[in-house]
Structure 1
Amino acid sequence: MIQRTATAELKLLAKQFKAIAIVGPRQSGKTTLARNVFPDKKYVSLENPDVRLFATDDPRGFLEQYPDGAIFDEAQRVPELFSYLQQVLDDSTGKGKFILTGSNNFLLQENISQSLAGRIGYLFLLPFSTEEIARATKEPQTIEAAIFTGGYPPIYDNEVAPNKWLPNYIRTYVERDVRQIKNISNLNAFERFLKLCAGRIGQLLNLSSIAIEAGVDSKTIASWISVLESSFIIYLLKPHHENFNKRLVKMPKLYFCDTGLACSLLSIHDSKQLTTHPLKGSLFENYVINDMLKERYNNNEPADLYFWRDSTGNEMDVVIDQGSNLYPIEIKAGKTVTSDYFKNFQFWKKATGFENGTVIYAGREAQKRSSGIQVISWRDFNLSSLR
């Protein structure tokens, strides 16, 4: 098993809370992580129909089978269990007794907030980060290969080609998870909607535009977007709310939680296609933002990631809210540093008064400019270095 960066945080949460929820997309490694960190706990899959029926019909009797706690996989499948689990936790003084995993954030959070608030710690687990992929592979990946392959652990564990594994993941997701979250009857329209979203990576989320192309109304698109968010297919990067005496964009930007998945939806069949693909810049930006998000989640910290854009089009790709300071980051897919990489920092400084910043690019060499702007390779960047 590849050592997950989130392992240390999970062990810490187990010392602080009576139960822990590990939440993330299907096949992101939640079960493997839980079983590796807690090898002595019994493992129970609530995807199993017989087990699920027992837990649904007799939740009290079901929980009595596990006096020392257990790992309940896909816990959102049995919402009836949570109210009874509350009583078990209240009667217990031990920490880290039950580990719940789930691939649907909306359903799991809804049940936890109703029954287990204050008793449970949360850990979000996304697919492998660049750091974790380096542990899984013998040779360093090119940026094109990293974007194309994405980070889902089974691709690395089983050495399966991403263009074979990812289409099946999408098919299973659409036919199984989508129906579980929301009763969507027109799956063909939903698949078309998924591909439309992939073509809009890094763009402002315009529900009306997607609705017209998908052939459904805007309310339906808004509902479907929430489905993709709750099942960790997409991530919406919000604009920073601070008003710097300018009219700012208020719509979020759309990104996928895994670039390999996005490449599959875009019918990109190998990494070489990315060299000249029109969406290479957007996909690189998506990949870097995913790594930032994974670092935050692996350390069990709030994302605090935003973008900034004014009404005239000046923008920063990412703004990190550090409380008393806003830290800007530009993401560039080129492998050669040019003067264009720094022009948006000038607008940022005039608008906000904040100095310094970072450019993350697809090249290898690091630079420190006299202006206070640093240039870092996508391989070497981490948010902790900005503190």
Structure 2
Amino acid sequence: MAKSLFPRVIAPLLLEALSDTPVVCLLGPRQVGKTTLAREYCPNYSYISFDDSTLLNTAQQDPTGFIQGLPEQVILDEVQRAPELLPAIKAAVDQRRTPGRFLLTGSANLLLLPKVQESLAGRVEVLNLFPLTEQEKHRNENSLLSSLISGKIAPQIIGEQSVIEGVAEAVCQGGYPEPNTRSAARARQWHRQYLNAIIQRDVKDIAAIRDEDEMLALMEMLAYRTGTLLNVSSMANELKMTRETTEKYLSILERLFLVRRLSAWHRNQSKRLVKTPKVHVIDSGLATTLSGLKTDDWNNHKSNFGPVLESFVVQQLICQASWIGSDFKFSHYRDKDQVEVDLVIERGQQLWGVEVKKAASINPKDSAGLARLAAQAGKRFQGGILLYCGNNTLPLTQDNCYAVPMNTLWQ
């Protein structure tokens, strides 16, 4: 059996969940290694894939009989193709609540399907497996997010201020395992084939769509607009689609873990905060392929690398948070003066801010967003970082805030 090319940080959390929870659900995009991880860490489990049409038809026609005929411990792969099984799984677990009985994997977000949360409430633990992070690729055990929330970031001058290497390559490569083994040109070909396959096949598992080409066009537009405020009406007009259809297609792309809406941080008493979400393509490699960006474009000031870099950082930190705990909330900050913070991280009553900058130098105004967020959040604000492409960790004018080299995400 194939093993993961890179160790997945989530693996111990998977084993922990299986030790005390009857149903564990591993969700994430196609081709990120869910099946490989499940089979590698649960070698004694029987394995059933609903990519097998015969098994799928049997499960759909007689869900209860199918579940009753399964072995004691089983992996059910691509379970979003047979949502009819979930009530039968609930009934089986209610009869015999054995930890680790069912390990489900899905390439669509089952929690957004009607009645799923109700069916499996209290019986299931959901873990998300996303494309590889740079931390996983470099096999680094220490996460930047852990350092941030524990207050361990401090000034560090390692030499004359210079540009760090490898950021453009990391962004363009993205995190899907397969293209990480290919040349840049072959990786771009993989990304295109991957998206076409998902739209032609996986979309049909969760929704009926009118036009595959329209959905592909929307995904390409989202790649160009990643890291920006979401304007559904503008996209609908440009694509000559209705707003309702555009919103439906966007929701499907979210359920397939291709894009993420990042809500706006707000306080009820503040009328000066913008409440529009941002949209991020989850994998930066896919985003650069669809928007035509290459590593050679990094130093071209007319290129759109800044927003893609922001999406890249947001994804890295959200993944790091999933390894620490599930009680984090994420948003972005923007007010009517257009002062922004790219990522707001909350845990309980504590709050941190993260800014992203493509340049290798900083100036005092670069901490304006963090300062504004600190003023709005008050005592909740614990500190923040400005991730940039310079090599030194430097203090910013806002207390407990630092400019941090981008490669601390993986080094």
Taking structure 2 as the reference length, what is the TM-score of the superposition? 0.86
Contact 2:173-2:180 at 8 Å conserved across structures = no
The alignment status of 1:113 with 2:140, answered yes or no, reads no
The alignment status of 1:361 with 2:388, answered yes or no, reads yes
More deviation, 323-332/347-356: 347-356
Task: Report the residue type matching 2:194 in the other structure.
Answer: Y
Match of 2:357 in 1: 332
CA distance in structure 2 between the aligned counterparts of 1:180 and 1:322, rounded to whole angstroms = 35
Q: Which runs of 5 or more residues in structure 1 are unaligned?
A: 383-387
CA distance in structure 2 between the aligned counterparts of 1:265 and 1:245, rounded to whole angstroms = 38
How much has 1:356 moved relative to structure 2? Answer: 3.3
More deviation, 105-114/80-89: 105-114
Contact 1:258-1:287 at 8 Å conserved across structures = yes
The alignment status of 1:343 with 2:378, answered yes or no, reads no
More deviation, 27-36/49-58: 49-58
More deviation, 369-378/210-219: 369-378
How much has 1:158 moved relative to structure 2? Answer: 6.5
Task: Report the residue type matching 1:148 in the other structure.
Answer: C
Q: How does 1:209-224 map to 2 (within 5 A)?
A: 209-224=234-249
**Helix, strand or coil for the counterpart of 2:298?**
helix
The alignment status of 1:259 with 2:287, answered yes or no, reads no
Structure 1 residues 86 and 380, CA gap change in structure 2 (3 angstroms): same
How much has 1:369 moved relative to structure 2? Answer: 4.5
Match of 2:159 in 1: none
Q: Deviations over 1:278-323 (max 9, x none)?
A: 2111111110000011112234514411111111211211111232
Structure 1 residues 111 and 153, CA gap change in structure 2 (3 angstroms): farther
Match of 2:156 in 1: none
**Helix, strand or coil for the counterpart of 2:260?**
strand
CA distance in structure 2 between the aligned counterparts of 1:250 and 1:108, rounded to whole angstroms = 23
Identity of aligned residues (%): 29
Contact 1:19-1:119 at 8 Å conserved across structures = yes
Match of 2:92 in 1: 88
Structure 1 residues 172 and 109, CA gap change in structure 2 (3 angstroms): same
Contact 2:180-2:187 at 8 Å conserved across structures = no
Structure 1 residues 180 and 63, CA gap change in structure 2 (3 angstroms): closer
Q: How does 1:51-90 map to 2 (within 5 A)?
A: 51-90=55-94
**Helix, strand or coil for the counterpart of 1:99?**
strand
Task: Report the residue type matching 1:318 in the other structure.
Answer: L
Q: Which runs of 5 or more residues in structure 2 are unaligned?
A: 141-163
**Helix, strand or coil for the counterpart of 2:263?**
strand
Task: Report the residue type matching 2:179 in the other structure.
Answer: I
Match of 1:200 in 2: 225
Structure 1 residues 373 and 344, CA gap change in structure 2 (3 angstroms): same
Contact 1:358-1:376 at 8 Å conserved across structures = yes
Contact 1:75-1:100 at 8 Å conserved across structures = yes
CA distance in structure 1 between the aligned counterparts of 2:98 and 2:252, rounded to whole angstroms = 35
Give aligned pairs, total. Answer: 378
Name which of 309, 313, 329 aligns with 2:334: 309
Taking structure 1 as the reference length, what is the TM-score of the superposition? 0.91
Task: Report the residue type matching 1:357 in the other structure.
Answer: G
Structure 1 residues 111 and 298, CA gap change in structure 2 (3 angstroms): farther
The alignment status of 1:377 with 2:402, answered yes or no, reads no
Task: Report the residue type matching 1:143 in the other structure.
Answer: V
More deviation, 184-193/367-376: 367-376
Match of 1:148 in 2: 172
Query: RMSD of the alignment, in Å?
Result: 2.3
How much has 1:159 moved relative to structure 2? Answer: 6.8
Task: Report the residue type matching 2:100 in the other structure.
Answer: G
Q: How does 1:277-316 map to 2 (within 5 A)?
A: 278-316=303-341
Match of 2:48 in 1: 44
CA distance in structure 1 between the aligned counterparts of 2:205 and 2:48, rounded to whole angstroms = 20
The answer to which structure, 1 or 2, has the higher relative contact order (CA under 8 A, 6+ apart) is 2
Contact 1:125-1:298 at 8 Å conserved across structures = no
CA distance in structure 2 between the aligned counterparts of 1:185 and 1:369, rounded to whole angstroms = 51
Name which of 4, 8, 16 aligns with 1:4: 8
More deviation, 309-318/252-261: 309-318
**Helix, strand or coil for the counterpart of 1:255?**
strand
